[in-house]
Structure 1
Amino acid sequence: MYRVWNFINNYSLLLIAGALIALIWANVAHDSYKAFHDLVLIEDFFIGHLHDGHRTLTLHYLVNDVLMALFFAIAAKEVWEAVILKNGSLRGKKAATPLVATVGGMVGPISVYLGLAAIFGSTTFNAVANGWAIPTATDIAFSYLIGRIVFGAGHPAVRFLLLLAIADDAAGLIILAVFYPSGALAPVWLLLSAGAAIAVYVLANWLPRRMDRGDQLRRNSTWVREKLSFWPYALAGCLSWYGFQQSGLHPALGLLPIVPTIPHCERAFGIFAEAEKYLTDLLNKMEHALQVPVQIVLFFFGLLNAGVELSSIGDATWLVLAGLIIGKPAGVLFFGWLAAGPMGLGLPAGMRTVDLFVIGCVAAIGFTVSLFIATVAFDAGPVQDAAKMGALFSFAAAVISIIAGRVTGVQKQDA
């Protein structure tokens, strides 16, 4: 079993702290929290967002649209390795059933969310329909932590859960890019992102290796790595981010085209594998160097996005919560059973069909990505606040998962 505790410790504890501070602050001194949330850093900033006729750089924009790109880059790195590299976790038949279950883990929440919204009436449906993707998310770190409590570290269901969660995040990145643009679409700007990715791959990766053919000392590649280090990729990342920003796609996804261009190891060791800390390839070194900065970014993300007054609970709260807590387990169970049984893909040895339901309950913890999608799905206001509250309340899935494990007779297996 791969060890993910370091990932949880690195990327979640400060996030929780930020979210709790924000929740308390917003309910005790809402005006001062609002002033902090809307803090203007630079007036008339040429990269900032349009606000009241002036381009301004606010603290919220800096964190959500600029710095969160680092978090999504790390998530994309794990997804990319799982799909592309030898022994990748999302390659081959071993990943087939989790991938089908992932589809169910998205179809179920969307169906419940939109179905209940329609039942609530056309007024509610029109107000909340754009938030359909909020309950599709799964928070990898927290889900893993609860999954280990429910199943034990050595249970095959925990590995299944990790595969499902990472595939879910991959789908979430696609949804963010396609369905939640940050402004009017101008696809021609994506040529800047594509050009930056191609240029840095050719000049800083492919060309030095090609020039080193037959040279056991690999002089060119060594020179590029020692003298230029990560700087060519940092420059390409800035250009790619700006391309996304100008194209109308959410700029927090702007580093995704650059991740595959960075020199990497030849094989995957697993999702957030402990072995990666011993690797010397540039991609893993960059990930390790970003750990502390991303911890700080996630603290401010929680601080700036979880500050919701308890009085803001509304229809969107219950729809997000129902999508996660009802739709996610139902979807994972049905599609997982469909893959394992009628489709003949099977389940990992030691897993029961009923374990799929428990996995779905664990995967219903949306939190980080659900909170992020809520901020881009709705304009600031009561509906957005209500949807955020649903994302925060998804922690209730942890208690439900533990109960579901007891009721279904899950036998914990230690590593």
Structure 2
Amino acid sequence: MLGDKLLNYDNLETGFTEYQQDFNIYKMKITRLFKEFAESEKAGGLTLIGCTVISMIIANTFYGNEYTHFWHSALGNQSVEYWINDGLMTIFFLLIGLELEREIYIGELSKIKDALLPIFGAIGGMLIPATIYMYINHGTNFQNGAGIPMATDIAFALGVLSLLGNKVPTSLKVFLTALAVIDDLGAILVIAIFYTKTIIWMNLLIASGIFLGLIVLNRLKIRNLIPYMVGGFAMWYFMLHSGVHATITGVLLAFAVPFGNGDEKSSSYILQHYLHKPVAFLILPLFALANTAIEVNISFQEIITQKYGIGILLGLVVGKPLGIIALTFVAVKLKICKLPSDLNWKMIVGAGCLGGIGFTMSIFITLLAFDEFELQNNSKIVILVASVIAAIIGFVYLLFASKTSRRKLSV
């Protein structure tokens, strides 16, 4: 890549100058893509909030029954809600996979030393909430919900962080983004391992064969996106009928699409660029509208007395920040990794609090963990309340932490 180009120059000084110019251009492209991602996620987060509020208001009005019925009405041989959750959300997971791939190759996860901080944060942010939930619900009919408080919603978290503007450093946004992407990968693995019930091996083998075929196309340097999209659709169809959750297809397809050097001409970059807005402003809002049509016909106090309600609430509001802060602190103290120069522990605490915003992935796992509609409905209420609490705590804390930091710098 850039290093190879430097070796081809006879004049080392000229070569180094041009190498530096190429590197700066390359860095600008990566920065622009990250900013584009962050901007779409911020706007997408605010759109999600709006759709959630609208959906809950309609669900609890005179038109609530018709509204709820619409999402459960048949479209083909399944409901509208089903096609959103198992179909359109695959595209969301495709975008997540493309973002993860970019982070691994040329982003925050490309250097193991830099990657370890959000990796440890994500691991802590998954294990501690799940442990808290299991401690409360072990041996009950609700223990299958341990995966619910494990995930962080990127769109909501960045949406809240964006309200602070330039009061927080860019490295905090990058840290939270990397942490949430790794978090999502963990949630995807949890779905694949723990929420797969019956496997139809023939369909799974066909889906695996299609994936291997796409990998071969990648190795042959076929950059045209059409065969990958056609193959991805076929893989999704057989995965859907295999028993493994079909949205896993999105992540697999992301790693089959050629990445190249990650520049604007690469297939991965082009696909990621085109998916940002449809995912942020169509797919996730539809997911929110379909899955937050929640009838609040029971008091929150009644729900929170249930063990699953306590587990979800404590897992997101307490377990998430505790896990993120504890494991990053241990990793830094053991000198496994280090904090970026413009970050301090107050900022990490604030990011940990925002990590408790579960929403999209938490609701998604709820639908897989519980079969009863009432249990799903009540769990969604707890997830929403816990996410709002986490968002408020994180926002207020970071607001005061940033003011304190600025005062210290001005002294």
Q: Same fold (TM over 0.5)?
A: yes
Is the 2:121–2:323 Cα contact (8 Å) retained in structure 1? yes
User: 1:195 maps to which residue?
Assistant: 209
- Give the SS at the match of 1:411: helix
**Secondary structure at 2:341's aligned position in 1?**
coil
Deviation at 1:32, TM superposition (A): 1.2
- Equivalences for residues 307-322 of structure 1 within 5 A: 307-312=293-298, 313=300, 314=303, 315=306, 316-322=308-314
Offset from partner CA, 1:320-354 (integer Å, 9 cap, x none): 12111111111112111110103542322233334
1:241 is matched with 236
Q: 2:148–2:312: 8 Å Cα contact kept in structure 1?
A: yes
For 2:252 and 2:239, how far apart are their aligned partners in 1? 10
C-alpha distance in 1, partners of 2:343/2:276?
A: 34
Structure 1 residue 68 corresponds to structure 2 residue 89:
yes
Partner SS for 1:236: helix
Instruction: State the partner residue of 1:405.
Output: 398
Q: What residue number does 2:160 align with?
A: 146
Which of 69, 85, 89 is residue 35 of structure 1 equivalent to?
Answer: 69
For the pair 1:95 / 2:88, whether they are aligned, the reply is no
Q: State the match for 2:338 in structure 1.
A: 346
Counterparts of residues 77-92 of structure 1 (less than 5 Å): 77-83=98-104, 85-89=105-109, 91-92=111-112
Q: 2:271 aligns with which of 280, 283, 286?
A: 286
Match of 1:374 among 366, 381, 389: 366
Q: 1:99 to 1:284 in 2, by over 3 A?
A: same
> Residues 330 and 300 of structure 1: is their aligned pair in 2 closer, same or farther, counting only changes over 3 Å?
same
Q: CA deviation at 1:13?
A: 4.1
Taking structure 2 as the reference length, what is the TM-score of the superposition? 0.80
Give the deviation of 1:407 after TM superposition.
6.0
1:170 aligns with 2:163: no
Aligned pairs, number: 364
Whether contact under 8 Å (1:14, 1:296) holds in the other structure is no
**Distance between the aligned counterparts of 1:361 and 1:190, measured in 2?**
39
Select 1:304's aligned residue among 290, 307, 328: 290
Q: Secondary structure at the match of 2:78?
A: strand
CA separation in 1, counterparts of 2:50 and 2:161? 22
Deviation track 1:184-235 (CA, whole Å, cap 9, x = no partner) reads 1234432222211222332x4433x4xxxxxxxxxxx6xxx5xxx4221122
Where do 4+ consecutive residues of structure 1 move more than 6 Å?
none
TM-score (norm 1): 0.80
CA distance in 1, matches of 2:134, 2:342: 35
1:24 is the counterpart of 2:37: no
Counterpart-to-counterpart distance in 1, 2:268 and 2:287:
24
Question: Does 1:256 pair with 2:251?
Answer: yes
Residues in 1 aligned to 2:259 and 2:337: alpha-carbon distance in whole angstroms: 31
What is the percentage of aligned positions where both structures have the same residue? 27
- Is the 1:245–1:251 Cα contact (8 Å) retained in structure 2? yes
Which consecutive unaligned segments of at least 5 residues does structure 2 have? 1-30
Tell me the SS of whatever aligns to 1:254. Answer: helix
Unmatched 5+ stretches in structure 1: 43-55, 210-220, 268-275
Q: CA RMSD in A?
A: 2.6
- Residues of 1 paired with 2:84 and 2:107: CA distance? 35
Q: What is the distance in 1 between the residues matched to 2:260 and 2:44?
A: 23
- The 2-side partners of 1:145 and 1:205 are apart by 35
In the alignment, is the contact (CA less than 8 A) between 2:113 and 2:336 conserved in 1?
Answer: no
Shift of the 33–390 alpha-carbon distance from structure 1 to 2, 3 Å rule, reads same
The AA in structure 2 aligned to 1:64 is N
Q: What amino acid does structure 1 have at the position aligned with 2:405?
A: Q
8 Å Cα contact 1:69-1:255 kept in structure 2: yes
Structure showing greater relative contact order (alpha-carbon pairs closer than 8 Å, 6 or more residues apart): 1
Amino acid at match of 2:83: L
Q: Which moved more, 1:340-349 or 1:104-113?
A: 340-349
Deviation at 1:291, TM superposition (A): 3.8
State the shift of 1:88 in Å: 4.9
- Find the counterpart in structure 1 of residue 199 from structure 2: 185
Superposed CA deviations along residues 2-50 of structure 1, whole A, max 9, x for unmatched, are 42442225643443333222211211133212311211122xxxxxxxx
Report the CA distance shift for 1:201/1:40 in structure 2 as closer, same or farther (over 3 A).
Answer: same
Give CA deviations for 1:51-98 in whole Å, capped at 9, x if unaligned. xxxxx2211111111111001100111112212x14553531011122
Separation (CA, whole Å) in 2 of partners of 1:111 and 1:9: 30
Report if aligned partners of 2:204, 2:239 keep a CA contact under 8 Å in 1. Answer: yes
Verify the 8 A CA contact 1:192 1:239 in the aligned structure 2: no
Q: State how far apart, in whole Å, the 1-side matches of 2:237 and 2:354 are.
A: 37
Structure 1 residue aligned with 2:353, among 354, 361, 373?
A: 361
Which of the pair is proportionally richer in helix? Answer: 2
Q: Report the Cα offset of residue 249 of structure 1.
A: 0.9
